[in-house]
Structure 1
Amino acid sequence: QQKLFKKDKIKIGIPSSFSIKECPSYITSAWSNAATQLQQLGSSTADDKNDTASTDITIQTISEQQLPSKFIQYSLPAYYVLACAEASSNLSRYDGIRYGCTSSTLITKEEEKVVSEYFAEMTPFETQISSTRVSNFGSEVIRRILCGTAVLSSNRFHTFYEGAATLRALLTKQLKEVVFQDGKEGVDFLLLPTSISLPPTIIGDEENEEEIAKVDATEAFANDVMTVPISLAGLPSISIPVPFFGEEEEEVSKAKSMGITSVGMQLVGPKGSEKTLLAIGKLMEQSLDRKG
């Protein structure tokens, strides 16, 4: 017999700090269903030759003391402060000359009216670069550049950027030393939802495009509340589709009519755990497929 996992016992943590009020009941029930599924997987695992070797998978709750909810609360703004700052810094180098797309013409007359007061003081070379950036940067890119430039300004850098960087360091330390405990007495993996809403459809019709256009950028950012703490800490994770229930809810009923039958649940591990993480994810997905 050859064991698929090196450890006889694998502990999966359910962090209570991620149980936020914005998380709907059908996401919570899918979360519970995923935890149950993982426990059932612990009865036996198999290698490529179908020889089985027992690995006990247990579920335990990560308390508020182990992972305070304040980390989750402030992770979202901290992540976007850092992400926008990096976008602003990196894209400030984009001129369309050394690499990337170059605008073949200057900006339109309508656009020129808006920025004429700035262009009046520019050289032809600077005007060409500016027109390239105006023509090729989308609204989301421009939004992030502006936000990043703001948080990197001299009067905001210490408050916003350094504060976000400090939170990232504290969160990383908390997860490593308290939750995972460097592979000693802590849990081996975390299980939590990937998002707090149903996945969007990708049907390319006009009605769907109109729905996407209605999505507020701030609401879209807020939907990342489950993933940004993991990204901030630089931890590996994998999202697995898990069936959800709750047909009585209008949102769920509409989603199922469009063919959406599952939500994402993410397994998160400490750094260097990718191999085991992928193995558990594969077994879990195969088990769900058999039941489906």
Structure 2
Amino acid sequence: MDKFTISDFLNRYSTSDKCLEEIKNLRFPEGIKCIVCKKVTNHSWFYAMFLMINTRAGISSKQLQRELGVTYKTAWRIGKQIRTLMADDIKFEDGVVEIDETFVGGKPRMKERWDTKTKEVVMGMVQRDGKAYLRHIENTGKWALLEQIQAHVSPKVRVMTDQYFGYVQLKKHGYKHKSVNHRITYVTKNDVHTQNIENVWSHLKRGIYGVYRHVSKKYLQAYADEFAFRYNNRKSSGQMFFNLLRQVSLVKMISL
């Protein structure tokens, strides 16, 4: 370019977006890539997010590896980072919330509530026709359960559980609590049941035992967040993708 006149300048840099685009093109002439793994393109990240939200039971790192054409280690890290975007600290302020806990890990047939030596505990809360919140907790003691309930459930909420003794103190702490005896029925005449949270457990275990095979204690919360995110956005897969993308825009930096 022999000359660069004010007219040229105004045409080329007429808006702030054009100025930013110029800097981006100079800084990243081959497109923006992850500064750590370097070979992962923006398209691969978007495609990975698309794959993770469009499966009811999750997608394994091995399958991500095949779909993206990256190493297994990179695929695992991509999945790990996307799950961090799915975490949501939900508070229930009204309506009916079903609460329950389940065990994951160990042998699937072992279902005892006190088996915390070979299994990990996940506590769940689901608002009817609303969202779910899942939390990995240390045990099923009444104080561990109460701590989570007080942190996430308003006393205005109608709480429904089974008859596990860990929930018997809820009324004493100001909650409107009803329970169902599963030895007699699963749904009472007054519509007391925990069918919605049981449905969440079904999807969670199908993913952990059928897709991921094994989830370590360290990363169990992240996988629980993934399943809760899909449940909370279940009514629209299209909106689910953009909700996840919106979380990306709020992150300052993702570290692998």
Range class of TM-score, shorter chain:
under 0.3
State TM-score, norm by structure 1.
Answer: 0.19
State TM-score, norm by structure 2.
Answer: 0.21
Which structure: greater helix fraction? 1
